Amino acid sequence: MLSNALLSQLKSAYALHEAGQQMKAKDAGSKVLAEAPSNFDALKLMGFIAGGENDFAAAADYLARAVRVKPDFVEGWYYLATSHLKLNDAHRAIACFEAAIKLYPKFFEARHDLGLALASVNQFDRARQAFDAACAIRPDSAEAWLNLGIALGKLGKYPAEIACCRKVLQLAPAHAVAAGNLATALLQDKQFEEAIAAYRDNFARGLEIDFARGNLVYAQLHAGAWDRIAADIADLHADIQAGKNCVEPFVFAAISDSPAEQMKLALQYAAAHYPAQEPALADDFDRIDWTGAGKIRIAYLSADFHAHATAILMLEIFRRHDRARFQVVGISFGPDDGSDLRNEIVAAFDEFIDVRGLNDADAAALIRSRDIAIAVDLKGYTAEARPGILAYRPAPIQVNYLGHPATMGAGYIDYLIADRFTVPPQEEMFYTESIALMPDTYQANGRNRQPAKSGRARGDYGLPADAFVFCSFNNPYKNNPCIFAVWMSLLEQLPRSVLWLLGNPVLEKNLRLEAARRGIASERLIFAPRVSQADYLERLAHADLFLDSLPYGAHTTASDALWMNVPVITCVGSAFPGRVGQSILHAIDLPELIAHSLDEYRELALSYALDPGKLAALREKLRRHADSAPLFDAARFTRNLETLYEKMAGNHRSGAGRQRIAI
């Protein structure tokens, strides 16, 4: 019970607070707490004053004391939660929001902000539930619907995200974020024509939305909708020069063949979206035991430790690492699909950690706690990547490898693993990383691909039994008008040939129209659906010749073709994404399949298509080399990769810092 004097002081503090005299109110409230440290009303007032001054640590202290005194103080739990959220302590915030909701289940702000807190630590399914409850309480809240849609998108539930975006636009027709999210969700849901229309509508309305220009081009590539693509690409280049957030680096790799332009974009992108974080967490790396019993601890970071191309390429490497010299940790932030490949990947690591429920800072702290010496990012800026983890510098050596065939433009990425073909000496200036060169090829591989054995014949895939089958099973976004024109020229010169492509309904319609415009019967384009890895490999063997793309060529897909004894014709590009075919063909000792211009590429393909004996000899050579050449020799590759890692570690231990490495 407060004395009359303290009660008068408390009333004065509240009056001063209401009058906007916060310093005097704070002084009065402090005097009350000095005499009565557990007084609820004083703690409540001081908590609100501190929050209003953005002193969230003090606010959290006062409000935590207030709810201990009065546990049913709903508003206190809510503002305590928001204070914790401002202090980047999402887990405490979540507990406090839940306490407020337990006391008042229809507390809209608590439900909504709980969703934000859960989303900040990547707990998107729980976030979805919180936002869903918020929408039920206040169905006219555009922000609640927007955030529900974002959570659904993170869960891959794109039709539901689309519905939420449309609900937002009903409530707030000028909502630019919802308009942008709608277009992107349509793209993610493979509704390519609808996505193109949505992006164009946003431009017509003058909406400035990050990455919209690049995503518009990307949607057109997926759809084979090329009528306006040249003008859109020109606008994209202009936007990059102007420093706009117009395209993500991975999308741009399929558009530009300029390593200089790719670096310019990467620098802009890293600075805007993934800057180095403070503290850098690099203060006590000296405690890491680099040699002896401690071994070198390597962490591989990826979202693709499941039925995915990266997992296929890397599985044997993970298994073959020399455990006398290395400990190997998997850091996973992608789905667990329950596949056999997922189980094999998990078993191949000494430790496997799923960090989907952690934000970037917490995931970095976890990696740091494991005394990791070398962190290898297998995603870069590709889909579901989390470069923000390495922005916290959880390891003294950080490496960009395999997933992103370009510079990341981030100072905290020390090395890019490449080879002399993908990054020739004259192009190293276009990489912010130091280049670490593998001797044969940068691409990991093995002999673990297993095709199905159904016994299907060509006719089962819609292929003419007597036709020459050109194929290109690249993702459709790698197709473009320039390379398609070369393919149509081949079909024109070889009347009994067909072109076999990976398809989608919109692409099929548009490419058949493109072929017809060039005088090629539309039925000579044959489209294949997506199937399991084993069925895909079995199917692939029925092709006669694989035609690479440009400027973003086949990577894993080219190795798949070679493994199935299908020769690959490639044209060397200027940037890393268009030079991988050259790299892997050298690694299997088939340099005769490498062209340096599209005219040479066309003539090379035609020469094999017109000469069955020459093609048969080539395939026999390929069959022999698959067993003996370096490309599929996982043991040799792993030894060389480990030598690179040891050189990186040696540079760091000696104080030399990061340097170009070649073995």
Q: Read off the pLDDT of residues 274-299 as tens digits, 9 standing for 90 and up.
A: 999 975 455 566 666 665 456 899 99
Alpha carbon distances (Å) from 540 to 395, 472, 504, 561, 575: 41, 10, 18, 7, 27
Query: What is the number of other CB atoms lying within 10 angstroms of the CB of residue 329?
Result: 18
- Distance (Å) of CA 348 to CA 97, 417, 442, 633: 40, 22, 21, 18
Q: Are 170 and 149 in contact (CB under 8 A)?
A: no
Span 214-247, pLDDT tens digits? 999 999 999 999 999 999 999 999 999 999 999 9
Q: Which letter, b or e, does each residue of 335-348 get, where b requires 16 or more Cβ atoms within 10 Å of its Cβ?
A: beeeeebbeebbeb
Lowest mean pLDDT among 15-24, 588-597, 636-645: 15-24
Other C-beta atoms within 10 Å of 613: how many?
A: 7
Contact 587, 629 (CB under 8 A): yes
Amino acid at 464: P
The residues near 622 (Cβ < 8 Å, ≥ 6 apart) are 562, 565, 567, 588, 590
pLDDT above 90 coverage of the chain, percent: 91
Q: What is the pLDDT, as a whole number, of residue 457?
A: 96
Q: What is the pLDDT of residue 280?
A: 47
Q: What average pLDDT does range 524-551 have in this prediction?
A: 98
Q: Is 107 helix (H, G, I), strand (E, B) or coil?
A: coil
Is 528 in contact with 539 (CB distance < 8 Å)? Answer: yes
Q: How many H-runs (helices) and E-runs (strands) does the chain carry?
A: 27, 14
Statement: the pTM of the whole predicted model exceeds 0.85: yes
Contact of 475 with 218, CB cutoff 8 Å: no
74 pLDDT above the threshold of 80? yes
| Residue pLDDT, tens place only, 139-188 | 999 999 999 999 999 999 999 999 999 999 999 999 999 999 999 999 99
Give, for 502, the enclosing helix (H) or strand (E): strand 497-502
Residue 12's pLDDT band, with cuts at 50, 70 and 90, is confident
- Tens of pLDDT along 432-477? 999 999 999 999 999 999 999 999 999 999 999 999 999 999 999 9
How far apart, in whole angstroms, are the C-alpha atoms of residue 255 and residue 111? 43
| Over residues 320-347, mean pLDDT | 97
Range of weakest confidence among 21-35, 244-258, 412-426: 21-35
Q: What's the pLDDT score for residue 128?
A: 99
Predicted pLDDT of residue 615: 99
pLDDT at 498 over 90: yes
- What domains are there in the chain, each with its CATH number? 4-205 (1.25.40.10), 296-437 (3.40.50.11380), 461-632 (3.40.50.2000)
Beta strands in 134-247 (DSSP E): none
Q: For residue 330, what is the DSSP state?
A: E
User: What element of type H or E holds 299?
Assistant: strand 296-302
Identify the sign of the CA torsion 375, 380, 385, 388.
positive
Query: Has residue 310 got a pLDDT over 50?
Result: yes
CA atoms within 13 A on the CB side of 197: 5
Cis peptide before 464 (omega within 30 of 0): no
